[in-house]
Each structure stands twice: as structure tokens, then as C-alpha cells.
Amino acid sequence: MIVAAGLATRQRLLVIGNGMAGVACVEQILKHRPRFAITIFGDEHYPNYNRILLSSIVAGERTPEDLTLNGVDWYRRHGIELRLGTRVVDVDAAAKTITAADGAVHPFDALLFATGSSPAVPPISGLQREGAFVFRTLEDAQALRAHAHAGVQAVVIGGGLLGLEAARALQSTGCQVTVVHLPEHLMERCVDAAGAAYLQTRLWQLGIRVLLGRRTTAIVGEGRVRAVAFADGDPIPADLVVIAAGIRPNVTLAQGAGVAVNRGILVNDYLETSHPDIFAVGECVEHRGVCYGLLAPLLEQGKVLAATITGNKGPVYTGTTIATSLKVTGVDVCSAGQWTDDPDS
Ligand SMILES: Cc1cc2nc3c(=O)[nH]c(=O)nc-3n(C[C@H](O)[C@H](O)[C@H](O)COP(=O)(O)OP(=O)(O)OC[C@H]3O[C@@H](n4cnc5c(N)ncnc54)[C@H](O)[C@@H]3O)c2cc1C
């Protein structure tokens, strides 16, 4: 159990994940004036940045520096040790140590999983071909930016929020863009059929082609991407493919440590896991059966966890009613509340 305040020696808090949820939670922890020595491990090479704005990198509207939320100075000012480009490869919950990819072993008194999500990649052959990308990190966005220019035929697999944002950003660079979606309507978890039809019309007007009800089976080409093939229907030509087919919480590390995991790392209303000194926040967690993929819930979780972990346990997190809006210039789509396909509910 962690009791941070009032201890003569500082306890070691290790944070795995330098993303928006982990760092926002650390910001909240600092407000409690904790007696923690904090180390944050991040396998990306950038200090905390605004992931939400990645499509503006693809579109060439912002630079990576513009997206920085907490520069290295911030970590320094708060006495936080930041280990960038350092992947944590093992957690020993019994010994209370973690092992980094460089082999270094670090002891902890409290451990925070903020490992986020990874892109969910459907079973499609040929994903290793040059010109096939996922869209999650600053490096992904920069790679897309480098390959996107006028005349390129871009295919985005996935017609959810992320896919449509990627599509619009690519189109703004001059690419000819097709969105391929497996369900029969776009953004099916956020808008109803009428809303989706409106959205599709607006995208057509912007010059973005939409193919619905298509199961992508292969990315075709010799070394490089040349086409995208489907379970039925003709293949379409492609120079660049973006997979934007959902996310999967990063739970392998927690699972290996014996922490209870379902789809996400299981947490209670205090953001405690099944291990008394291990906590979790952000897209990697599952709370009351829900894994969130948006920022607002993660910020709420961070406040509660900061109280819990600093010995001020009391506030509870009971879940978030989510609201989303599509950040695509020229198309206004907002969605709020619980999604259901039951017309009577
Ligand atoms: C393009 C895009 C647009 C988005 N737009 C919106 C939006 O408009 N509105 C909204 O609310 N949300 C949006 N989101 C979602 C939002 O960005 C996420 O919900 C949020 O960033 C998740 O934060 P996180 O810290 O939980 O996870 P992440 O951001 O995934 O951060 C986790 C970090 O931990 C690192 N990590 C994982 N495992 C390890 C390990 N073993 N060792 C070291 N480091 C590790 C990861 O590399 C990553 O850097 C968008 C996401 C994307 C990709």
C-alpha cells in the first residue's frame, strides 16, 4: 500500500507510458505535493505531445514542436526523471521491479501503467509492404506526411473518427483518397444511418470516395503497395494505405505481471488494479466494463488516481458519458451519450 506524504525518504513512483493520460495524471499528483521520486518511461522519442492533433502534422499545418504539451524543461523543473525511447519489457510484481529494454532493473514502491493503446490491425495480408501505415504516433504522422502529395492514391481502411480524420488530412495534401469501411455505414458507433448518409454526402462533396461493406483482404504489390484487394469486388489501385480500424489496449506487460486484465487492465473506482501497489490510467484500463478511446475520461481518471496514490483516497471515478466531434474541416458531426442499436431504448 502507498502512503506518500510524511515519509522521511521519498518513495519511488514509476510510470510506464509518457502519453497524455500518464503525464496528465502526474500533473495531478504534483498538485498533492507528494514525496515521490518519479520516473517516467516512454518508448516514443518525444516528450508528452498532443496526440489529438496528429492529423495536422499529416496535413502540414503544424510541426512536431507545435504539438508539445510538456517539454523536457517541465520534467526537469518538477524533478521528474524522463526516460525517452525506453521500452519497459518486464514487470515483477512480487519483487516490485521493472526491467527496461536496455536490461536495467528499477525498483518501485508504486507503479503506474499508462501504456495506452495500439492500432488494431485486421487480418490483411501484405501489411509489410512499403507504403502501408498505421496512424497512432508522431512518427506515424510524419511518415504519412513524407509520402503524401498530389497525385498519390491513398486508401484509408476504417471509416471511424480516426480514419476520416486521416482521410481529410491526406486529401488536403493533394492525395486522391478512398475510405474503405467494413460496416454498411460510416462511424456506426457514433451516428445513426441518417447521420452517416449525410456524412458520406459531405465527404463525396469534398472529393473523398467512400466504399462501404467491403472486407479488405490484402495489400497487393511487389515490395511496394500497388492495390488493395477485397473479399468481393474488384481491387482498387493504391500507392499508400492507412489502417485505421480501431485500437487495442496495451495490456501484455500487466498481464505478464499477474495483474488482472480483461480487454483492458481492470481497475476499480479508485483506479487501483488487483495489485495493491500497482495502478493504471488511460486507454489501457477497463473500468466497469468500459475501455475508453477518448481524452476526457482519461483526465477524469487521472484526478481520482492522483488522490488515491498520494494517500488522499476518497474521490471515485464512476465512468464518463462520452461526447465526440469529428475534426474534419467542412463536416460538422457531433455525437454524445450512450451508443445503442436498439430503437426502443
Ligand atoms: C490521430 C488521433 C486523433 C485523436 N483525436 C481525438 C479527439 O479528437 N478527441 C479525443 O478525445 N481523443 C482523440 N484521440 C484519442 C486520444 O489521443 C487518446 O485517448 C489519448 O491520447 C490516450 O492517452 P494514453 O496516455 O492513455 O495512451 P497513449 O497516448 O497511447 O500513450 C501511451 C504511451 O505509452 C507508451 N508505452 C506503451 N507501452 C510501453 C512500454 N512497455 N514501455 C514504455 N512506453 C510504453 C506508448 O508508446 C505511448 O507513448 C485521438 C487519437 C489519435 C491517434
pLDDT of residue 209: 96
Give the residue, by CA position, lying nearest to ligand 1 atom 10.
294
Atom nearest to 117 CA in ligand 1: 30
Handedness of CA 153, 221, 200, 338 (dihedral sign): negative
Position 7 scores a pLDDT of 41
Q: What is the pLDDT of residue 90?
A: 98
pTM exceeding the 0.85 threshold for the entire prediction? yes
State the pLDDT at residue 13: 98
Residues within 6 Å of ligand 1 by CB: 16-22, 41-44, 51-52, 54-55, 87-88, 114-117, 135-136, 162, 165, 250, 253, 282-283, 293-296, 298, 327
pLDDT at 192: 84
Q: Report CA(285)–ligand 1 centroid distance (Å).
A: 12
Query: Do 89 and 254 contact (CB within 8 A), yes or no?
Result: no
119 Cα: distance to centroid of ligand 1 (angstroms): 10
pLDDT averaged per 10 residues in sequence order, the chain, 345 residues: 47 98 98 92 98 97 97 97 98 98 97 98 95 98 97 97 96 97 89 88 94 96 96 95 97 98 98 98 98 95 97 96 75 63 45
Domains and CATH numbers, the chain: 11-118+247-309 (3.50.50.60), 121-245 (3.50.50.60)
Contact, 302 vs 287, CB < 8 A?
no
Q: In the prediction, which pLDDT does 337 show?
A: 61
What pLDDT does 334 receive? 67
Which H or E run includes 247? strand 247-249
